[in-house]
Amino acid sequence: MKLVTGNSNRALAQAVAAYLELPLSDATVKRFADKEVFVELHENVRGEDVFILQSTSFPANDNLMELLILTDALRRSSARRITAVVPYFGYARQDRRATGRTPISAKLVANLIAEAGVNRVITLDLHAAQIQGFFDIPTDNLYAAPIITRDILDNYKLDNTMIVSPDVGGVARARAVAQRLGTDLAIVDKRRPKAGVSEVMNIIGDVSGQACILIDDIVDSGGTLVNAAEALLKAGAKEVSAYITHGVLSEGAAERIAASKLKELVVTDSIEETLATKGAANIRRINIAPLIGEAIARTASEQSVSSLFD
């Protein structure tokens, strides 16, 4: 088994390699003067089971091209099997045609990955579960719920604690955490006038006197979380925290979270930490390397991956 990484999240790749007690394979992934991606493998991969660790986070297009070109280099070097480990799958929010004359970019990216030569995909908390069906190759969608649940148990008392979904679409994800913890569930019903802008309308459930924990898969601009926290506090919640799998946290988001009424935002390290998030006192990260590493180990040894979540 070989582990290869691009430049999207080297810290996570190194943590996964440490968990598996394997070194990262020696490879060069760099840019020419015109910003073209160049890849060179410095060790033999012929007949090897190779795993590429590469999120397609910001800059999404550059990191996607690195993944595709790494795949092509491995395929042309006669790797036996190539598995793309993509903790954060970019373009996942473009999973349907919301209006006329728009693309389904998630399907296009899935096609690109498969056509490049990837034999299998491992990813984490896809924005929509049906995206697994966009791939014409085996795809394992891992869940961060066990890690999130464990961290909540370690840091929060469950008395008067309520899990909250920040929108109707995320109810299944939030319910999975609530069931693991044995807590009640509330829902924030919001209207989104345009992309990236959310407006809270109603709170479904009685949150009065509760310590509310918002559960979601992606935090981008942070507007949804900030608005949801304000609405929950107005409805009588005593405090509001949030656990989000993928901390996209685009420009200005970390500052918005830091200035908000959120007690704490906890994200996984599926996306590399930025200087802005490092400077935010109420943003904390939890490590998913053991989960990713165990999924890789089980895939390499042809064991069940789904049993990780039984």
Look up the CATH number of the domain holding residue 31: 3.40.50.2020
The verdict on 86 and 198 lying in the same domain is: no
Annotated binding residues for D-ribose 5-phosphate, written as ranges, equal: 192, 216, 220-224
Cis peptide leading into residue 59 (ω within 30°): yes
Q: Which residue, of 142, 157, 176, is where some domain finishes?
A: 142
Reply yes or no on whether the pLDDT at 198 is more than 70.
Answer: no
294 occurs within a structural domain: no
Q: Which residue, of 142, 157, 192, is where some domain finishes?
A: 142
The verdict on 182 and 106 lying in the same domain is: no
The verdict on 74 and 42 lying in the same domain is: yes
Residue 47, phi-psi category: left (phi > 0), alpha (psi -120 to 50), beta (remainder)? left
The verdict on 130 and 208 lying in the same domain is: no
303 occurs within a structural domain: no
In this prediction, residues 184-201 reach a mean pLDDT of 77
- 190 touches 218 (CB < 8 A): no
In this prediction, residues 107-119 reach a mean pLDDT of 98
The verdict on 109 and 174 lying in the same domain is: no
Mean pLDDT value across the chain: 94
Closest among 228, 139, 215 to 176, alpha carbons compared: 215
- 135 touches 110 (CB < 8 A): yes
Q: What is the pLDDT of residue 98?
A: 84
Q: What is the pLDDT of residue 192?
A: 66
The verdict on 203 and 267 lying in the same domain is: yes
- Per residue in 21-42, pLDDT (tens digit) is 999 999 999 999 999 999 999 9
Dig out the tokens for 6 from the structure: 């691009």
The verdict on 202 and 245 lying in the same domain is: yes
Concerning whether 157 is annotated as a catalytic residue, the answer is no
Q: Which residue, of 124, 142, 160, is where some domain finishes?
A: 142
- Per residue in 209-247, pLDDT (tens digit) is 999 999 999 999 998 899 999 999 999 999 999 999 999
189 occurs within a structural domain: yes
Q: How confident is the model at residue 191 (pLDDT cuts 50, 70, 90)?
A: confident
pTM confidence score: 0.93
226 occurs within a structural domain: yes
300 occurs within a structural domain: no
Annotated binding residues, written as ranges, equal: 34-36, 93-94, 127, 167, 192, 216, 220-224
The verdict on 185 and 113 lying in the same domain is: no
Dig out the tokens for 93 from the structure: 């929010």
Count of structural domains within the chain: 2
Q: Amino acid letter at 293?
A: G
The verdict on 191 and 260 lying in the same domain is: yes
| Residue of 190, 261, 263, 278 with catalytic role | 190
Q: What is the pLDDT of residue 150?
A: 96
163 occurs within a structural domain: yes
In this prediction, residues 97-122 reach a mean pLDDT of 96
Q: Amino acid letter at 218?
A: I
Please give the residue range of the domain that contains residue 228.
145-286
Annotated binding residues for ATP, written as ranges, equal: 34-36, 93-94
Reply yes or no on whether the pLDDT at 275 is more than 90.
Answer: no
Distance CA 204, CA 217 (A): 20
DSSP category for residue 169? G
Q: Are strands 37-41 and 211-219 parallel, antiparallel or unpaired?
A: unpaired
The verdict on 61 and 186 lying in the same domain is: no
13 occurs within a structural domain: yes
296 occurs within a structural domain: no
